Amino acid sequence: MRDNREDIRAFMRKFHRLGHFRGYGGLKLLVLYILSEGPKNGAELMDTIDMMSHGHWKPSPGSIYPLLSKAVDDNLIVKRVDRKYELTDAGFEEISMFKAEGSDKAGSIESILTEIDSNLSYLEDLAEEKLAPYVRILERIGVKINRINETFKNSMKEA
């Protein structure tokens, strides 16, 4: 799955500048934007928003599911047989003015490394006890970064 947090952040910056990020309308457009990346069920939508906000906001089922029902009624999304929601053409049109320009660059190496750098800065600011449960994951990440650095150093020696 492609990491689309930078696209979503750019979308939210544009959205916020227009003064629409509050109440049902804000959550509706955020959900539609997330669904433009691919089908998701309600729980996946809540988790995606939670991840995007680094745990600062996770909409409740009481917010998400009525919103999804209304969006189905408004023909902005459809509920598939696998219980995932998918954007319709009308849903795409609803968010088209908010799509971030240059989103085709989201998967570039530069944008990936910039996102990693930002996330590492966030992790550096966290208290040690918040990171302690994730020590094994951090160790695996460290091994991968070291392997990439070694590959890079070796290719520079050969060049």
Q: Is the pLDDT of residue 73 over 80?
A: yes
- What number does CATH give the domain 5-104? 1.10.10.10
At residue 98, the pLDDT reads 65
Question: Which pLDDT tens digit goes with each residue over 89-144?
Answer: 999 888 877 665 544 445 577 777 877 888 888 888 888 888 899 899 999 999 99
Model pLDDT for residues 1-12, shown as the tens digit of each residue: 556 666 666 666
Torsions phi, psi for 87 (to 5 deg):
-70, 140
Answer yes or no: are the C-beta atoms of 85 and 68 closer than 8 Å. yes
Nearest to 51 by CA among 146, 117, 122: 122
Stretch among 7-11, 67-71, 103-107, 153-157 having the lowest mean pLDDT: 103-107
Give 26-35 pLDDT, tens digit per residue: 889 899 999 9
Q: 113 is written with which tokens?
A: 């490394």
The residues near 151 (Cβ < 8 Å, ≥ 6 apart) are none
Q: Which helix (H) or strand (E) holds 86?
A: strand 85-87
Structure tokens at 139: 């160790």
Confidence of residue 17 (pLDDT cuts 50, 70, 90): very low
Tell me what the mean pLDDT of segment 61-67 comes to. Answer: 93
CA distance 24 to 10: 20
pTM for the full predicted model:
0.52
Is pLDDT of 16 > 70? no
